[in-house]
């Protein structure tokens, strides 16, 4: 232990949890390494963990010229000079981030600042990297000296494998990761997301803390276990653990009043004190129990969110701007929903579209009850939001990710299109959002059989369209296939339109049918998951609106 314990304050460490058994790591196969990391094979042996970290980091593919330990020894005196290491200013790209001490001694705490300053000297292209102080502090535990720690961090930063994302180094990458995390929470932690929407004016501000939970608030014993798996499996592990933290927060705090004026502060406090309720093993177990994750899915979401931010000109850190959930009351007027209800809908839609303002494209009150005019006003806009109010005061709708002009691809035949981001919802008499059936219930994608209830063709088409002939590791179809040159089989079948009718649905067995005169509609419910229907089985439309998204 002493070989790698120079910077550790052992009085603050739980030495009883450390094993003195001599262990070696001989395996090199990825699957075996993954299992050992998840099981904590090297977690209780300080020296073994140090050797494993060194081995894993040395295998990271890096740029040809990557600063090493010798570079650090050459530059550290020139950069630090005679200044006290404890008073060294941190570079702007760490954005006044938390600098966790992780049971380091005084020498270690000062070494963190020295190493970060030397990294800033060698990586002038880093513009935003709030996770860096935590990574440096953690790796100091498992380094023989400052120079070795510097070299290991540099290898992580200099990784040039396009398929292996490690640490965000620009504001664009960081902000898009926050949006991607918000998208994932919206799909996989709906109860927690509902709480965030209820108690926070800006949900993205809460989700922008997700990396801080991991690299700042999480105690040393926990972050080390996360880092074990992160070095083997990569960035997606961070999303998994952050989602698990949010799930545990909601479970532990459900029904309790906020302890502070801010949900953001409450989550931070919960993560800091997580040892009171959740062990490191339980946290990882929860993280890896979350289904439906795919690295390709995350990459596609990240790409789309980065593109949306670039189009909005949000690429560098600015003073706090409310770029999310911004439905401005003074500019919004609907005959169907209130500003608050529209903001609730905005909290459900993908993060990159929540950057935009709602734009009214079509309303039956102004444009009449004509399906052809519905198409002419809606086409050319992607995505769109459909809102319906019935004569019985029921309110329902759908988020439609694809341009209605796609309906022409089927010629005169009614054909389905759309992506997995589509969903239907109800606002009155009760609020309910219905998930897209294939994403939420993957077992339906492998039945290959038509549903017995033929009154629900939308859901049936979804089932049939994902038959067993497709490879099991196909992409989850969050985004339009044509945007990323993906095979058409990754597309969804959620919406359909012809000159005679519109069909929207498939979410949890829910389907919505509108006749050509836009005066009448009906719903179909497959009773698969015992959800309440969208609205009456047969209804008359009082008002119908279509909204687009304006920059």
* 236-253 and 263-272 helices, crossing angle to 10°: 100
Q: pLDDT band for position 293 (50/70/90)?
A: low
- Higher-confidence residue: 543 or 505? 543
Task: List the structure tokens of 228.
Answer: 């074990």
Q: Domain limits of the chain? A: 10-158, 171-312, 324-440+492-550
Interacting residues of 8 by C-beta distance below 8 A, sequence separation 6+: 103, 104, 105, 108, 141
Taking the model in full, what pTM does it have?
0.75
| Overall average pLDDT of the 411-422 stretch | 79
Between 456 and 249, the more confident residue is 249
Mean confidence (pLDDT) of the chain: 81
Residues present in the chain in total: 551
Q: What percent of the chain has pLDDT over 90?
A: 46
CB-side neighbour CA atoms (13 Å) of 330: 0
Average pLDDT over residues 1-14: 82
pLDDT of residue 30: 82
Residue 129: the pLDDT is 94
- pLDDT confidence of residue 320: 38
Contacts of 33 (CB under 8 A, 6+ apart): 27, 232
Residue 244 CA to residue 278 CA, distance in Å, equals 11
Q: Show the 3-state SS of 32-74.
A: HHHHHHHHCCCCCCHHHHHHHHHHHHHCCCECCCCCCHHHHHH
pLDDT for residue 203: 85
Q: What is the pLDDT of residue 334?
A: 94
| Pairwise CA distance, residues 234 & 275, whole Å | 25
For 439-454, give the DSSP string.
HH-GGGGG--S--S-T
Given a cut of 70, is residue 507 above it in pLDDT? no
Of the pLDDT bands very low, low, confident and very high (cuts 50, 70, 90), residue 23 is low
Mean pLDDT of 261-280: 93
Q: In this model, does residue 258 exceed pLDDT 80?
A: no
Counting other chains too, the contacts that 284-287 makes at CB distance below 8 Å and 24 or more residues apart are: 284/38, 284/225, 284/226, 284/229, 284/241, 284/244, 286/244, 286/247, 286/248, 287/237, 287/240, 287/241, 287/243, 287/244
> How much is the average pLDDT of 520-532?
61
- Residues in a beta bridge with 8: 104
* DSSP code string of 394-408: -EEEEEE-S-GGGGG
Place 532 in a pLDDT band, splitting at 50, 70 and 90: low
User: Roughly what angle, to the nearest 10 degrees, separates helices 46-58 and 220-233?
Assistant: 30
Between CA 275 and CA 282 the distance in angstroms is 11
**pLDDT band, very low/low/confident/very high, at 525 (cuts 50, 70, 90):** low
Residue showing tokens 């439905």: 327
**Residue 265 corresponds to which tokens in the numbers above?**
């502060």
pLDDT in the model for residue 403: 93
User: What is the band of 489 on the pLDDT scale with cuts at 50, 70, 90?
Assistant: very low
pLDDT value for 17: 60
Is 404 a residue whose pLDDT tops 50?
yes
Q: What is the pLDDT of residue 77?
A: 93
For the chain, percent of residues with pLDDT exceeding 70 = 81
Residue 319 has pLDDT above 50, yes or no: no
More confident residue, 520 or 331: 520
Q: Model confidence at 322, in pLDDT bands (50, 70, 90)?
A: very low
Distance CA 188, CA 330 (A): 33
- Note the pLDDT tens digit of each residue in 417-439: 888 788 888 898 888 887 654 33
User: What is the mean pLDDT of the segment spanning 443-456?
Assistant: 34
Please state the φ and ψ torsions of residue 522, each to the nearest 5 degrees.
-150, 160
Of 92-96, 123-127, 158-162, 462-466, which range is least confident?
462-466
Indicate if the pLDDT at residue 147 is higher than 50.
yes
CATH architecture group of domain 171-312: Orthogonal Bundle (1.10)
pLDDT attached to residue 13: 83
Q: Which residue has the tokens 């979410």?
A: 507
pLDDT at 465: 31
- The rounded distance, in Å, linking the Cα atoms of 316 and 139 is 28
Which positions ≥6 away from 14 have C-beta within 8 Å?
Answer: 221
Q: Give the pLDDT score at 331.
A: 78
User: 82-119: per-residue pLDDT in tens?
Assistant: 888 878 889 989 866 678 999 999 999 999 999 999 99
pLDDT of residue 441: 35
Residue 306 and residue 184: Cα distance in Å, rounded? 15
Q: What's the whole-number mean pLDDT along residues 440-449?
A: 33
More confident residue, 199 or 176: 176
Residue 298 is predicted with a pLDDT of 84
Average pLDDT over residues 219-239: 94
* Top-confidence residue, 127 or 415: 127
What is the band of 210 on the pLDDT scale with cuts at 50, 70, 90?
A: very high
Among 45-54, 77-86, 127-136, 220-229, the range scoring the smallest mean pLDDT is: 77-86
Is a pLDDT exceeding 70 seen at residue 468? Answer: no
Q: How far is CA 413 from the centre of its chain?
A: 37
- How far apart CA 301 and CA 25 sit, in angstroms, is 36
């Amino acid at each position: 232990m002493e070989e790698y314990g120079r910077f550790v304050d052992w009085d603050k460490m739980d030495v009883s949890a450390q094993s003195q058994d001599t262990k070696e790591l001989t395996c090199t196969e990825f699957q075996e390494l993954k299992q050992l990391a998840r099981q904590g094979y090297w977690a209780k042996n300080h020296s073994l963990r140090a050797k494993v970290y060194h081995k894993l980091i040395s295998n990271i593919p890096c740029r040809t010229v990557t600063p090493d330990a010798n570079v650090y020894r050459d530059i550290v005196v020139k950069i630090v000079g005679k200044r006290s290491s404890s008073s060294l200013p941190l570079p702007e790209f760490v954005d006044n981030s938390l600098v966790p001490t992780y049971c380091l001694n005084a020498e270690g705490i000062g070494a963190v600042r020295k190493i970060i300053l030397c990294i800033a000297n060698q990586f002038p292209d880093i513009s935003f990297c709030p996770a860096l102080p935590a990574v440096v502090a953690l790796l100091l535990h498992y380094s023989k000296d400052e120079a070795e720690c510097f070299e290991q961090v540099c290898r992580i930063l200099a990784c040039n494998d396009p398929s292996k994302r490690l640490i965000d180094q620009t504001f664009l990458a960081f902000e898009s990761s926050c949006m991607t995390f918000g998208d994932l929470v919206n799909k996989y932690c709906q109860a927690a997301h509902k709480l965030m929407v209820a108690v926070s004016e800006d949900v993205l501000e809460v989700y922008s803390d997700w990396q801080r939970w991991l690299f700042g608030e999480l105690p040393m014993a926990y972050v080390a276990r996360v880092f074990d798996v992160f070095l083997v499996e990569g960035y997606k592990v961070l999303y998994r653990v952050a989602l698990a933290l949010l799930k545990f927060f909601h479970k532990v705090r459900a029904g309790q009043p906020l302890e502070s004026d801010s949900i953001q502060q409450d989550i931070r406090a919960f993560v800091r004190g997580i040892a009171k309720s959740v062990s490191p093993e339980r946290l990882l177990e929860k993280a890896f129990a979350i289904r439906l994750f795919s690295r390709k899915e995350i990459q596609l979401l990240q790409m789309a969110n980065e593109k949306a931010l670039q189009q909005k000109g949000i690429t560098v850190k600015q003073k706090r701007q409310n770029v999310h959930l911004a439905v401005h009351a003074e500019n919004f007027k609907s005959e169907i929903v209130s500003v608050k209800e529209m903001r609730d809908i905005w909290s459900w839609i993908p993060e990159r579209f929540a950057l935009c303002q709602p734009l009214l494209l079509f309303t039956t009150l102004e444009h009449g009850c004509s399906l052809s005019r519905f198409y002419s006003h809606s086409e050319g806009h992607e995505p769109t939001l459909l809102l319906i109010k019935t004569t019985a005061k029921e309110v329902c709708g759908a988020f439609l990710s694809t341009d209605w002009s796609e309906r022409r691809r089927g010629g005169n035949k009614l054909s389905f299109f759309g992506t997995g981001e589509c969903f239907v919802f109800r606002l009155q008499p009760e609020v309910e959002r219905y998930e897209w059936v294939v994403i939420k219930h993957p077992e339906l994608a492998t039945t290959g059989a038509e549903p017995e209830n033929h009154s629900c063709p939308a859901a049936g088409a979804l089932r049939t369209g994902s038959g067993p002939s497709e490879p099991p590791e196909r992409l989850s179809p969050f985004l339009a296939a044509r945007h990323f040159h993906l095979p058409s089989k990754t597309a969804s079948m959620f919406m359909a339109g012809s000159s005679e009718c519109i069909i929207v649905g498939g979410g949890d067995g829910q389907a919505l049918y509108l006749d050509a005169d836009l005066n009448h509609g009906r719903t179909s419910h497959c009773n698969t998951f015992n959800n309440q229907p969208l609205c009456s089985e047969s209804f008359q439309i009082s008002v119908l609106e279509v909204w687009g998204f304006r920059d």
